[in-house]
């Protein structure tokens, strides 16, 4: 089985995770720029992070046969910190990079006026740079947050088919389906969406325009929950083709709209033992 996780924060994960993912068939990932837990205090902190998302992290992933792309943005939470806002002026140069396949994560955390401004500005950047947009929805007051998100997306003029609205649940899926945007679901170990609930949503709404991700990061999360969802689909009667549609072809279609998705190395291990270094570093321990 081939799996593409369209939303996972590999920077927070270990090489053990990469090895387990590759063994499970998870051979393509997109890593959205996000909050690191520890608040950033200046724009330079973002640029080093963005450089890592398009440099070190794809290098690290390739050692395990996992193809890594990124989305770049000022995240909704830090859009509230005036010390972080100058990063908005630095985004255009990253949005031109080969490995950047969308603007994201953008959207709402607490639905403040500051978040409105950053969200609108970054949707405009997506249009300008001809990129899709990955939109985070708030974990609190989700229905209201999702409605407001869809209003802002509609007002921006971006084509709904170029927008993924993420972290949906049973309450918000219908709103996003009707909007023409892609429907993103993050599967978590204990809270929010689980594999059995996801299977029920797929039964009711079908497999079109659905993206399933683990959103694994530095919090309680599990990079193999895409595989667990695939297995739950098969166990409940979905066919292999349906699984491949949702967990491979859909993310390929969505991020393929960037014109930059290159999956030719998916599943190809490029040399843990003999590979080159990245800026003088490698993931090996000890001497060459």
**Site residues (vs Zn ion, CB under 5 A):** 34, 215
Nearer of residues 10 and 243 to Zn ion, judged by Cβ: 10
Question: How far apart are alpha carbons 286 and 271 in whole angstroms?
Answer: 16
CA distances (Å), origin 286, targets 35, 46, 60, 275: 32, 30, 17, 15
Q: Give the full edge-to-edge strand order of the sheet including 182-186.
A: 3-5, 26-32, 67-72, 100-107, 133-136, 163-165, 182-186, 210-213
Nearer of residues 31 and 238 to Zn ion, judged by Cβ: 31
What DSSP assignment string belongs to 130-152? T--EEEE--SSSHHHHHHHHHHH
Nearer of residues 81 and 204 to Zn ion, judged by Cβ: 81
CB of 167 to Zn ion, least distance (A): 8
Residue 115, burial from CB neighbour count under 10 angstroms (0-12, 13-18, 19+): buried
Q: Sign of the C-alpha dihedral, residues 204, 210, 214, 216?
A: negative
Question: How far apart are alpha carbons 115 and 117 in whole angstroms?
Answer: 5
Would you say 242 and 61 are in contact if contact means Cβ atoms under 8 Å apart? no
Q: How far is CA 5 from the centre of its chain?
A: 8
CB of 134 to Zn ion, least distance (A): 9
CB of 35 to Zn ion, least distance (A): 8
Question: How far apart are alpha carbons 187 and 216 in whole angstroms?
Answer: 9
CB of 280 to Zn ion, least distance (A): 30
Nearer of residues 18 and 34 to Zn ion, judged by Cβ: 34
CB of 218 to Zn ion, least distance (A): 11
Nearer of residues 176 and 243 to Zn ion, judged by Cβ: 176
Nearer of residues 34 and 59 to Zn ion, judged by Cβ: 34
CB of 286 to Zn ion, least distance (A): 34
């Amino acid at each position: 089985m081939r799996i593409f996780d369209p939303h996972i924060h590999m920077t927070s994960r270990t090489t053990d995770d990469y090895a387990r993912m590759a063994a499970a068939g998870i051979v393509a990932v997109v890593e959205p720029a996000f909050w690191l837990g520890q608040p950033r205090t200046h724009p330079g902190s973002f640029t080093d992070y963005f450089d890592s998302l398009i440099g070190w992290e794809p290098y690290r992933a390739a050692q395990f046969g996992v193809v890594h792309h990124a989305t770049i943005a000022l995240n909704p939470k830090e859009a509230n910190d005036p010390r972080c806002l100058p990063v908005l002026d630095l985004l255009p140069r990253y949005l031109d990079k080969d490995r950047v396949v969308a603007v994201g994560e953008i959207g709402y955390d607490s639905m403040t006026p500051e978040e409105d401004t950053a969200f609108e500005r970054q949707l405009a950047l997506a249009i300008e740079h001809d990129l899709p947009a990955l939109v985070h929805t708030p974990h609190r007051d989700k229905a209201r947050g999702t409605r407001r998100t869809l209003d802002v997306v509609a007002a921006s003029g971006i084509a709904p088919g170029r927008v993924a609205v993420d972290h949906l649940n049973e309450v918000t899926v219908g709103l996003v389906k009707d909007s023409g945007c892609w429907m993103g679901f993050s599967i978590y170990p204990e809270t929010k969406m689980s594999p059995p609930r996801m299977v029920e949503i797929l039964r009711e709404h079908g497999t079109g325009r659905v993206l399933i991700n683990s959103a694994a990061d530095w919090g309680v999360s599990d990079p193999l929950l895409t595989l667990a969802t695939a297995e739950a689909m098969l166990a409940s009667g979905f066919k292999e083709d349906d699984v491949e549609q949702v967990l491979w072809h859909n993310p390929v279609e969505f991020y393929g709209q960037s014109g930059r998705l290159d999956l030719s190395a998916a599943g190809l291990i490029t040399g843990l033992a003999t590979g080159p270094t990245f800026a003088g570093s490698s993931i090996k321990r000890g001497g060459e």
